[in-house]
Structure 1
């Protein structure tokens, strides 16, 4: 087998010409598209990383807000318990004072009615005594009849 310099040189020139043509019209646009694709992928990766960080931040903010809401709800519940306990104590105290006032009023009313009844009874007894005395004077009876007359009037007073 012989080595031909001219064939080798023509092959090398053809290869270089083909390489230059492919580089200009095929590899250049192909590498450009691949570079654009690489940039797009990097951009999407950066966007995804940024979105992930934002999501984590939003999640931590939501957790903090939820915890704050729980604390506020607990404080509101505690405040409601305190208020209801105070109101219950106020109502009980008010009821006790009202009961005491009503009891005092009732005692005063009873005392007043008792005094009226005693006064009325004294008046009645005085009237009856006068009637007994007038009847005794009218009849001029003996002791036995006088006793019967007094007993009769006492029974009348007892039945009234």
Structure 2
């Protein structure tokens, strides 16, 4: 026993406590530290595998995104090509319709010109016939009347007045 004043130490009691401490340390190490270490290692492995899976998923997602972007670019190019073809077809159709309209207008104009020429000829022919008839009528009236100049002038004026009323 060691006496330190208010504190006394007993060797037997200290030795017993030291042995109890060592036994408790071995028991804690065997039954507590070992399983806790195993649990911690398992947890570390789970976390590592989850990190690997997350990295793999991220890479797959990046690949998928790149593929989607490529497909979107292809779709845009195809859409642009379709729009260009449609625009070209519309321009071609517009040119064709304009050409057909011009041809139809030219044909109608030619037909109208020909019709006008025919009607003009008919009118001239009718006028010639009327003039011939009027000339004959005038001549017969002049012959019926006396041949003095005043009477002849009056007869012609009356005839022209009658012809003017008919036209």
- Give the structure-2-normalised TM-score: 0.76
1:64 aligned onto 2:36: no
- 1:109 is aligned, of 107, 110, 115, to 115
Cα distance between partner residues in 1 of 2:38 and 2:145: 154
Cross-structure match for 1:37: 43
With over 3 angstroms needed to count, the CA separation of the structure-2 counterparts of 1:107 and 1:158, relative to structure 1, is farther
With over 3 angstroms needed to count, the CA separation of the structure-2 counterparts of 1:156 and 1:114, relative to structure 1, is farther
1:13-92 alignment, distance < 5 Å: 15=22, 17-92=23-98
Cα distance between partner residues in 1 of 2:26 and 2:164: 148
Q: RMSD in angstroms over aligned alpha carbons? A: 2.7
1:52-111: CA deviations, max 9, x gaps? 101211211121022112211211221122012111111210110111011011102101
Structure 2 runs not aligned, ≥5 long? 1-13
1:128 aligned onto 2:128: no
Q: Is the 8 A contact 2:145 2:152 kept in 1?
A: no
- 1:100 is aligned, of 81, 86, 106, to 106
- Give the structure-1-normalised TM-score: 0.79
Pairwise CA distance, 1:157: 4.6
